[in-house]
Amino acid sequence: MGRSPCCEKAHTNKGAWTKEEDQRLIDYIRVHGEGCWRSLPKAAGLLRCGKSCRLRWINYLRPDLKRGNFTDEEDELIIKLHSLLGNKWSLIAGRLPGRTDNEIKNYWNTHIKRKLMNQGIDPQTHRPLNEKTTTTTTTTTTTTTTTTTGAVKPSTNRVTQLNFENASPQSISEINLLKSNIDFNYSNFSPIKTESVEENNCTSSGMTTDEEHHHRYHHHQERESSHENEEVNLELTIALAPTRNELTPRYSSNTADSKLQQQAPYQLLEKIVTGTVCTCCQLGSQRSEMCRNCQNSNGFYRYYYY
DNA sequence: AATCAACACAACCGCACCAGG
DNA sequence: ACCTGGTGCGGTTGTGTTGAT
């Protein structure tokens, strides 16, 4: 038995949104908050599919959206994040406040891809276009595979393949920080329903912006608590998963980690991509100290970024 | 001025994931 | 364990705009 369609297609508008439709959607969300997209069109008096409403809001009408061209810093950040995450546009968008996944995806396809090609770089693998055979290391939270194909397809594989070389031990915790940082930002910038919306069956949350931020932070912490003694699986597989102890100080105190946390994202990434990590640490067998086997730079992999 | 191609971006579609029953 | 509904994500398509001829 197939699933029911998300909306009654025969009675829904398609194509470009009119100003009136936009205004209806804005007015409705202003009063009732986000969420319950399926029932929203009817409630708001819109002849639109719920998904369409959600997309319109997230990609175009949301008040916190940044308008205008991408800056050079944003360009760089997108390229770096893409080299780490592949086509995980929502994760990338999570690192660029005010930008949407759709916007970044379009920007990538129309600008950055061409720019990289012109520089002789394969936009999918971030390697030189004429490079033929390479060695890559693939890691997941459960399995580890080494391939010699060099064929990296981050958009279809649920694995991000990375090469590292000359990694310093402190980079490991920085990489972990990046992972958790991305997760944190992802939860922050994703359209999360507020509890009150859920509890009140899609009525207004009545929260101020500050309350909402606090709520989201709290929500995030609750999520972390629920993952106690678990590895955090972000599907990033950049390095070993952080432990609870490594995650906790991120939001408090003046620890080195929390200072790192406050750095501009591209600065953090700059440190990471030029940093180093040994293979066994990368695979999760060691923690913040370099293992003996790797103290001579044997078995290091280079992470390419140009 | 008209036509066409290339480009930019908004919107759609199908699938996957997750929570709840 | 399975089903269903709601939601989010990534790939693709459609359409308006701009530039070249």
- pLDDT for position A165: 35
CA A250 – CA A268 distance, rounded (Å)? 14
Statement: residue A30 has pLDDT above 80: yes
CA A277 – CA A171 distance, rounded (Å)? 6
In 3-state terms, chain A is what percent helix, strand and coil (to 5)? 50, 5, 50
What superfamily does domain A72-128 belong to in CATH? Homeodomain-like (1.10.10.60)
Name which of A152, A146, A104, A108 is nearest A126 in CA terms: A152
Backbone angles phi, psi at A56, to 5 degrees: -60, -40
Query: Across residues A200-226, what is the average pLDDT?
Result: 39
Strand B nucleotides within 7 Å of a protein CB:
7-15, 17
Cα atoms in the 13 Å half-sphere on the side-chain side of A128: 5
Its pTM surpasses 0.85: no
Could you check: is the Cβ of residue A3 within 7 Å of any atom of nucleic acid strand C? yes
Name which of A48, A43, A45, A64 is nearest A7 in CA terms: A48
- pLDDT for position A211: 41
Burial category of A144 from C-beta neighbours within 10 Å (exposed 0-12, middle 13-18, buried 19 and up): middle
Query: Across residues A143-160, what is the average pLDDT?
Result: 32
Span CA (A244) to C1' (C13), Å: 44
Better pLDDT: A202 or A103: A103
What is the secondary structure of A30-54 as a DSSP string? HHH-S--TTTHHHHHT--S-HHHHH
Give the protein-side footprint of strand B (Cβ within 7 Å): A 6, 13-17, 48-49, 51-52, 55-56, 59-60, 102-103, 105-107, 109-111, 158
Most confident of A120-124, A128-132, A188-192, A295-299: A120-124
Statement: residue A286 has pLDDT above 50: no
CA A33 – CA A199 distance, rounded (Å)? 12
Span CA (A56) to C1' (C8), Å: 14
Q: Which nucleotide is nearest to A91 (CA to C1')?
A: C9
For A168, the token pair is 């310093």
CA A278 – CA A168 distance, rounded (Å)? 8
Residues A65, A177, A181, CA angle at the centre, nearest 5°? 20
Q: Which residues of chain A does CATH 1.10.10.60 include? A: 72-128
CA A77 – CA A267 distance, rounded (Å)? 9
The one-letter code for the residue type at A122 is D
Rg, C-alpha atoms of chain A: 22
Buried b or exposed e, range A36-56, using 16+ CB within 10 angstroms: bbeebbeebebebbbebbbbb
* pLDDT band at residue A155 under the 50/70/90 scheme: very low
Query: Across residues A115-136, what is the average pLDDT?
Result: 71
Statement: residue A171 has pLDDT above 50: no
CATH number of A19-61: 1.10.10
Span CA (A221) to C1' (B18), Å: 19
Better pLDDT: A36 or A298: A36
- pLDDT for position A99: 87
Query: Across residues A201-218, what is the average pLDDT?
Result: 40
Better pLDDT: A182 or A232: A182
- What is the pLDDT of chain A when averaged over all its residues? 55
> Are A278 and A269 in contact, with CB atoms under 8 Å apart?
no
CA A291 – CA A300 distance, rounded (Å)? 12
Protein residue with the closest CA to the C1' atom of nucleotide C12: A106
CA A47 – CA A44 distance, rounded (Å)? 9
Strand C nucleotides within 7 Å of a protein CB:
3-12, 14-16
